[in-house]
Amino acid sequence: MRDRFVNQALTKWMEGTGKESEIVISSRVRLARNLCDIPFPNVAAAEQTKAVVSQVEGAIKDAEIEQTSGELIFVNLEELEPLDRLVLVDKHLISPQHAEEAAGKGLILRADEAVSVLINEEDHLRIQCLFPGLQLEEAWDLASRIDDLLESKLDFAFDEKLGYLTACPTNVGTGLRASVMMHLPALVLTNQASRVLASLSQIGMTVRGLYGEGTDATGNLFQISNQVTLGRSEEEIISNLVVVATQLIDHERMARQVLLKETKPQLEDRVCRAYGTLTSARIINSQEAMTLLSNVRLGIDLGIIQGVSPQVLNEMLVLTRPAFLQKLAGRELSPFERDVQRASLIRERFSLDG
């Protein structure tokens, strides 16, 4: 039964390892790159798009790159079922846009999904490293080395003054977007989250929910990333984000201690009720599941709940998404059927621990 989760669902970032993994779920670094003399994907002709895929696919099949990144597999998105593409979205590996319009798009993937290269999404290439815990430097280091090796074989569009050229001007320069996914339940419970997170925009950071732009911070999960890609070095961008993440970790830790000190019974009640509901419900929607999973995770972190592994939250983030539930069921499910399937999956997962 465990296999079902491990084989079909787990990717590297869900492991719950890495530094500060109690609060930082994952760290991601993504580099936007484009080939010279070929229009950006949104305006490229089918032939040109095809040429990009074959150039990148050719370049990546390289002993030195594989030695650096691990074995990489090329996937033609057009050949995947729509549901499988949605699963890749749920795993944070491709964007929803990339999943919807698969024509001419490719994905290069390491088996543990910690390394991926998206071909012909918004840019010709997006090199992505996604690690568990606070591992921004590690992710940057690997992405950068893969980038260097690819650059030695491919002709990237680069301007002496502007830096790397990208389809969207917000990515011009370093082409680097770094982000951390943080679980900040105590900041939310102590009503500090909005204030603390709002202040981040003043220092060039963007805060989003779990599934990117325009999504809510369901489950007390916040994705914090750099706004600016131009005029700063990659190392500066990474180290700034590490500083911000570290401050948020301290803040969250303090808020947790305050909760434990000042409202312990209420906290225990919240956590235990969440566990009770998750292990009992027969029908549960995504929003409620995320909220309760967040409470349970907080309870695990604080020792209120024992015998349940902390990575259960990470796993459930993906396993309980509509696409994944339908993948498991092997067919399309109505919203009601998904809520039933979700409840059943959660009960099953918790019964493995505890």
Of 68, 76, 206, 279, the residue at the interface with a second copy (CB under 8 A) is 279
Query: Would you say 194 and 45 are in contact if contact means Cβ atoms under 8 Å apart?
Result: no
Q: Check the annotation: does 275 bind a ligand.
A: no
Residues numbered 174-233 forming contacts with a second copy, rule: CB under 8 A = none
**Interface with a second copy includes 254 (CB under 8 A)?**
no
**Interface with a second copy includes 285 (CB under 8 A)?**
no
Residue 124: CB atoms within 10 A of its CB come to: 30
**Smallest separation, CB 317 to a second copy (Å):** 22
Lay out the sheet containing 115-119: strands in order across: 72-76, 106-110, 115-119, 125-132, 24-33, 176-183, 221-226, 205-208
Q: Check the annotation: does 28 bind a ligand.
A: yes
**Interface with a second copy includes 268 (CB under 8 A)?**
yes
Strand pairing class (24-33; 125-132): antiparallel
**Interface with a second copy includes 272 (CB under 8 A)?**
yes
- Cα angle, residue 156 at apex, residues 153 and 158 outer, rounded to 5°: 140
Of 46, 160, 214, 265, the residue at the interface with a second copy (CB under 8 A) is 265
- Cα angle, residue 217 at apex, residues 213 and 221 outer, rounded to 5°: 110
**Interface with a second copy includes 289 (CB under 8 A)?**
no
End-to-end CA distance of the chain: 15
Q: Check the annotation: does 308 bind a ligand.
A: no
**How far apart, in whole angstroms, are the C-alpha atoms of residue 321 and residue 245?**
26
The nearer residue to a second copy, 258 or 283, going by C-beta atoms, is 283
Of 59, 258, 260, 340, the residue at the interface with a second copy (CB under 8 A) is 340
Judged by CB under 8 A, how many residues of this single chain contact a second copy? 16
Annotated binding-site positions for ATP: 26-30, 92, 126, 177-181, 208-213
Rule CB under 8 A: which residues touch a second copy?
Answer: 265-266, 268-269, 272-273, 275-277, 279-283, 340, 343
